[in-house]
Amino acid sequence: MDDTNNPPLAWSRNVAGMTLIELREATLSLTLSQSRHGVPQPQLEVILPASAVHRQLRAALHAFSASLELATPASERWLVQMEILDAPRRGRLYLELAEGSHPEAMRGLMLLHTLMG
């Protein structure tokens, strides 16, 4: 089944009591960082509004993560990871790349970009 024309899950649904407006108020930042081992690491940082609670952050990260997993081609071997950086407002999704190559990192960045709507 090809869902490439559907909007990402987190933007199209009410997720764990978070309304579409609350998600639109989130700040999303896409970067290519490096792991502690110097390997490229595509990441999407999520910062929720000041009114957010810890569970809303976790729900948003899980929703983004699920969307990313479902959009990842079967040929890619990276791992989708999430991390709480500053509860209850800030977390990130990042890809642990299988090969650590620049082309793989760019493919990962492009896929993460689709989550930003």
Residues forming a β-bridge with 36: none
What pLDDT was estimated at residue 11? Answer: 40
Q: For residue 49, which amino acid is it?
A: P
The reported pTM is: 0.78
Task: Report the distance separating Cα 41 and Cα 20, nearest Å.
Answer: 28
Task: Report the distance separating Cα 97 and Cα 104, nearest Å.
Answer: 7
Residue-wise pLDDT for 58-98, tens only, equals: 988 998 999 999 999 999 999 999 999 988 899 999 999 99
Q: Is the pLDDT of residue 114 over 60?
A: yes
What pLDDT was estimated at residue 3? Answer: 37
What pLDDT was estimated at residue 30? Answer: 95
Residue whose tokens read 């899950």: 9
CB 44 within 8 A of CB 112: yes
What pLDDT was estimated at residue 68? Answer: 93
